[in-house]
Amino acid sequence: MFFKEVIGQTATKERLIQSVQGERVSHAQLFAGPEGTGKLALAIAYAQYVACTNRQANDSCGECPSCKKYRKLIHPDIHFVFPVIKTKKFDKPVSDNFLEDWKMMIGKNPYFNIDQWFDQIGVENAQGLIYAHQSEEIIRKLNLKSYESEYKVMIIWLPERMHVACANKLLKMIEEPPVKTLFILITENEEDIISTIRSRCQLITIPPIDPVSLAKAVSALPEAEGFDVKTIVHLARGNYGKALELLQPDEQTLFNLERFKELMRTSYGRKFTDLFKWVEQVAGIGREKQKNLLNYFLMILRENFIYNLKNKDLTFMNEQEEEFSKRFSPFINERNIIELTEVFETAFNHIGMNGSPRIIFTDVAFKITKLIRK
């Protein structure tokens, strides 16, 4: 991965390059920012630049043996840790069990999100985690000498998904790592990482991709032909993954919108038989998809509330969402927006704590029936 392949983020690239050239590479760095901003791509490009034996002023050379191995993600001194799931095959899963899927995802598009990753590895009713036993594998790898490069690099994607026991075991390693070890933690929810790890990392804030760079990247895509790129960039809000989704909506987004419509229509009409059918449907889709669904509901609530202000610059809905909201948005107002938000936030938390989906979504349905008529 080259820095030039990372969309935008010019200031961050310059900062990372200068740290290498000035020999001021911090041993533990936390790349924090919203989804779809290129944090993983930046981390890999940075690791490749650190390992490059013929660094250029602004990028890796691409020709040395190290760069060639990094391009294929087969360099022996780069290691990845990411959320995984338990399966019949892997009762105590570690990231290496899913490494081929991981490399395939990066090769296709390094701007993928957690839901796309879980779809790739087939999450059903499990919740993806970085399990406690992963720490033993990390410690084992980093205690070995580097094979080819000066630095051993450990990229941990979404450490907020790390089991507390794993995080606690890693604490000493992050605080006092072996010589020439580089930790890069990539997070979308900095506050969800345990404070003892956060405090030991140098924070690198990754902002949303700037509109000019995002527009240039979107315009270069064949599937963007016929679309209003300016509108896509506005709706994406600096998220390249979201821009791709707007060009080709995925099944999960369409599913979430339809479930939201059904919930609101049947709740308003107090069609309890249909509500119970809705509960049965969403109770069976698996916990990660249920959390994705509830996050989507929170987003679309906010958009409908803002839609009432009649200012398109403040709303970020695609064509299908806006078409529904034209008639629905008046039902989301100052009398019920706070309580509706609390309903979905509470359900999200309860799903995350392995509560019964049928009970949780039945509770949601009955509460929405009351609140939607306020």
Domain ranges in the chain are 3-207, 212-237, 251-371
Burial track 273-300 (b if 16+ CB lie within 10 A, e otherwise): ebbeebbeebbebbbbbbbbbbebbbbb
The verdict on pTM exceeding 0.75 is yes
Confidence of residue 91 (pLDDT cuts 50, 70, 90): confident
Q: What is the pLDDT of residue 124?
A: 67
**With 80 as the cut, is the pLDDT of residue 101 above it?**
yes
Query: Sheet holding 152-157: strands in order across?
Result: 78-81, 152-157, 181-187, 28-32, 202-205
Bridge partners of 182? 153
Q: What is the pLDDT of residue 338?
A: 96
Q: 3-207 has which fold?
A: Rossmann fold (3.40.50)
Q: Comparing 242 with 126, which gets the higher pLDDT?
A: 242
Q: What is the pLDDT of residue 173?
A: 87
Q: What is the mean pLDDT of residues 4-32?
A: 95
Give the lowest-confidence range in 55-69, 230-244, 308-322: 308-322
Q: What is the pLDDT of residue 147?
A: 82
Q: What is the pLDDT of residue 328?
A: 95
**With 80 as the cut, is the pLDDT of residue 250 above it?**
no
Q: Which two tokens stand for residue 333?
A: 């107002």
Q: What is the pLDDT of residue 191?
A: 92
Say which residues have a Cβ less than 8 Å from residue 112's Cβ, sequence separation at least 6: 105, 241
d(CA 227, CA 192): 37
If you average pLDDT over every residue of the chain, what do you get? 92
Residue 122: DSSP 8-state: T
Residue type, 209: I
Confidence of residue 334 (pLDDT cuts 50, 70, 90): very high
Cα Rg of the chain (Å, integer): 22
Q: What is the pLDDT of residue 356?
A: 94
Confidence of residue 148 (pLDDT cuts 50, 70, 90): confident
Q: What is the mean pLDDT of residues 289-298?
A: 93
Q: Comparing 286 with 214, which gets the higher pLDDT?
A: 214
Q: What is the pLDDT of residue 210?
A: 96
**With 70 as the cut, is the pLDDT of residue 125 above it?**
no
d(CA 254, CA 26): 43
At 23 the three-state DSSP class reads: coil
